Amino acid sequence: MRLVLLGAPGAGKGTQAEMLTKLYNIPCISTGNIFREHISKNTDLGKQAKAFMDEGKLVPDSLVIELVKSRITQEDCKNGMIFDGFPRTIPQAEALDAMLKELSIPIDYVINVDVPDEMIIDRMAGRTVCPSCGASYHKTNKIEKVAGKCDLCGKDLIQREDDKAETVKKRLDVYHAQTEPLIAYYKGQDKVLDIDGVGSVDQVRARVMKALGVN
């Protein structure tokens, strides 16, 4: 099974990706993780990517595709993979399609998790994290036992810059301008499964499973 997960930041793609990786026993492909792996191993591709990142520039699509190709040809991807956070633009999707065609492994489905902007802002603006152990909390969905303190290590919780309401609005603007057009792109290939992302994790999971025809 080869899947692409689409949806705005905070729509819950990562949670569903975690479920799907276990269901199909396939890896989740994240370009961020790929970058970090190549940079840590000091590969030629990693050096090229790091040079752009160190200058604060976006890694070019051609290099991103090469990095993705090196990842999906590894042994653990032989039964499929899930793309989460990639592709982000039409040119990336076109390049990915060309690469997968070359490898004779087309995308099976594109899961589009749809959540209204106002709900995403509320979700993300309500999140806090522990800077020490990484545990995350939410003002309504996962409240810490002692206000402002991590349940696991007792450290003070913080709100990440990425989760502040104004930052979330800007991220949503970028998503609507650059990534949302991918829904129409993949609908033209008749591969999109639209999923209502409003509700509990279990409710959304059940909708994803039903759309994939899994009992």
The active-site residue out of 123, 171, 205, 207 is: 171
Q: For residue range 25-38, list pLDDT tens digits in order.
A: 999 998 878 888 89
The superfamily in CATH containing domain 2-26+79-115+168-212 is P-loop containing nucleotide triphosphate hydrolases (3.40.50.300)
Q: Is 13 known to be catalytic?
A: yes
Rounded distance between C-alpha atoms, residue 68 and residue 81, angstroms: 11
pLDDT of residue 190: 97
Q: Is 205 known to be catalytic?
A: no
The active-site residue out of 2, 71, 88, 123 is: 88
What does the block give as tokens for 152?
Answer: 């696991």
Q: Is 160 known to be catalytic?
A: yes
The pTM (predicted TM-score) of the whole model is 0.82
The active-site residue out of 2, 71, 123, 127 is: 127
> CA angle 11-17-18, nearest 5°?
115
| Crossing angle of helices 44-54 and 31-40, rounded to 10° | 110
Residue 198 confidence class, pLDDT cut points 50, 70, 90 = very high
- Give 8: exposed, middle or buried? Use CB within 10 Å, 0-12, 13-18, 19+: buried
Please list, in sequence order, all residues whose beta carbon lies within 8 angstroms of the beta carbon of residue 167, skipping any fewer than 6 positions away.
Answer: 161
Q: Is 171 known to be catalytic?
A: yes
pLDDT of residue 185: 97
Residue 111 confidence class, pLDDT cut points 50, 70, 90 = very high
Share of residues in the chain with pLDDT > 90 (%) = 64
pLDDT of residue 52: 86
Rounded distance between C-alpha atoms, residue 25 and residue 103, angstroms: 21
pLDDT of residue 33: 83
Average pLDDT rounded to a whole number, residues 177-181:
94
pLDDT of residue 118: 94
Share of residues in the chain with pLDDT > 70 (%) = 100
Q: What is the mean pLDDT of the chain?
A: 92
The active-site residue out of 47, 78, 142, 160 is: 160
